[in-house]
Each structure stands twice: as structure tokens, then as C-alpha cells.
Amino acid sequence: MDTLGYIYNRGAANLRGRKSGTIGLVLCDVGNPFYSKLMLGIDEVIVDANVIAVLVNSANNPERQFRQIRQLREHGVDGLIICPAIGTPDTLLEETEKLNLPCVQVLRHVSPIKGDYVGPDYAEGTSLAVKHLIKHGRKKIVFLGGEPVHSAARERLEGFRKTLKRHNLEHDLIIQTNIQDLADYGNLPDLLASTNPPDAAICYNDMIAQSLIGYFLAHGKMPGRDFAIIGADNIPQAATSFPPLTTIVTDPVGVGRNAARLLLDRINAPSITSTRILVSGQLMIRQSCGGPIS
């Protein structure tokens, strides 16, 4: 076979088995290093199942996303893993059902109860971060970055608010910013210049947190000592920043593995019930938040 240059005819096999051995992977920002980790987890599972993924980038555009889903179906994918674009309506689930396309949502979901979903426990991870800061004496904590425009952002804010309220601390210091502009700190500089400034920030992601570290260093302040900073996602650069960044571990590789397993199960045995898997939140403690490293 090798001598003759024989290549297995996947198309003919697909006609016999009515499966293509491909899945669609619809992400909203492939330039974000977080998604590379997600794809690693997915690939670890599907490679052993002789399945390959077709990647498309929705660029957070719901109309483009729906068009891509239809095109992936035209190309015969057996199922979808999708991180819904901002503004995606819950008709996403009806659309994939009409297309007879098993679909697993990751990181964000369009309905709190309908559809298969795998993601980090954002609320618990943010709660752990708040409790760590309180334990080490921080009393005025802000949440920096993003807007509550999708489920991941809303769940982060839920964990932030609820935990501060339980400790009878101010829980509405939420500074919305454009997360594509890492130099956008909203009104945080004004708060820092006030007579009762905040002493800590939990950031929407690690990239915003690293930008905030740079802001304080440029103003002669040492993060961790003069102001506590915590990020989210534990991207590789978090450990090498100065000072090293404390971060909420969202385990994108684990999310990817679980999503791929769930989708393969759905392809092989469709179900009318929804499965929702939350990957437990953890806190990677480093120098940027002060307190002991443990």
C-alpha cells in the first residue's frame, strides 16, 4: 500500500457510515491565547477518535457566526463546539437543532438552562479571589474590565458582588472598559486619586491585569505591596510578568477536553436532555496580590 501510494478514501467511508469524521469549532476571538489552550484540550480528545476540527472565527459577530454554522453544515461536519458571539440570541439552539447538528457551547452560553454547555465556574473562581483579598486585609476592591454582555461576564460579576456583600463590604465598584483597549482603565485613575481610594482590583482577564501592573509601575507603585491585582485565565505570561500575576485558573484545556467528550457522546447518542459541566475554579497565588504565596 505504501509503495503504491494508497490514500484512504475518507469520502467514500463517510458515505457508508453517514459521518464525516469532522467537527466545527466556532470561536469568537482566535487571536486570544486563551483559545489556543481550549483547542489543545479539544484536540487531545478528538485525535484519538480519528476526528479533525474545522476552525472558524466569528469575530464576535452573530450574523457572521450563523452564516459560518450553515457553511460548516454544508461541509458535512458531524457536530459543533461553539463559544457564542456577543449578542447571540437563544435561537442559536433552535438553529442547530433544525440543522440536525449536535452542539456544545463552551465558555459562554445563550441560555442558563437549555443546551449542552461546558465552562469554568466563573462565579466560584471570582469568589475565591475576593475572599483571598479580604483575608489579607484588602477592604475596597474594584472589578475592572468588560461589560456584562455575555454569560461569562455576568457570572464573574455575580461572584464578585455576592462575596463582597456577604462580608459587608462595598460591592458595586465595577468599572466597565473596552477589553480590546488594554489602556482603558475607565474611571479607576480618578478613584485612585480620591480621598478613599481602592486597594485592590480583580480584572476581567490576565491581559487587563498585566496592563494594570504596568500602569502602577509607571506611577512608582509596586503591585502586591501598594495595590493588589488579580487576573483571570492563567495564561502563560502571567507567571513571567513583574511581579508575577495572581490569577483565577479557568483551565481552558480541561474545558476543551470535557466539551470534546460531550460532543462525541452527542454525535454517537443524541439526547433531548441538556448536560452542563462546570470546571471548578481555582486561584493561582503569586506576588501581584500581596499576602503569602501558598
Residue with cell 494508497: 6
Q: Are 266 and 96 in contact (CB under 8 A)?
A: no
Q: So what CATH class is 122-250? A: alpha beta
What is the per-residue pLDDT for 8? 47
| Domain residue extents for the chain | 10-120+251-280, 122-250
Spatial separation of the C-alpha atoms in residues 45 and 186, rounded to whole Å: 41
What is the per-residue pLDDT for 11? 52
What confidence tens digit (pLDDT) does each residue in 254-291 have? Answer: 999 999 999 999 999 988 899 999 998 899 999 999 86
pLDDT at 17 over 70: no
What confidence tens digit (pLDDT) does each residue in 228-259 have? Answer: 999 999 988 999 999 999 999 999 999 999 99
The pLDDT-based confidence of 292 (bands split at 50, 70, 90) is: low
Q: Are 102 and 44 in contact (CB under 8 A)?
A: no
Sheet holding 276-279, edge to edge: 52-57, 22-27, 80-82, 103-106, 116-120, 276-279
What is this structure's pTM? Answer: 0.88
Sequence-distant (≥ 6) Cβ neighbours of residue 112 within 8 angstroms: 151
Burial class (CB in 10 A: 0-12, 13-18, 19+), 269: exposed
Spatial separation of the C-alpha atoms in residues 189 and 177, rounded to whole Å: 13
Q: What is the number of other CB atoms lying within 10 angstroms of the CB of residue 87?
A: 13
Q: Do domains 10-120+251-280 and 122-250 have the same CATH topology?
A: yes
CATH match of 10-120+251-280 with 3.40.50.2300: yes
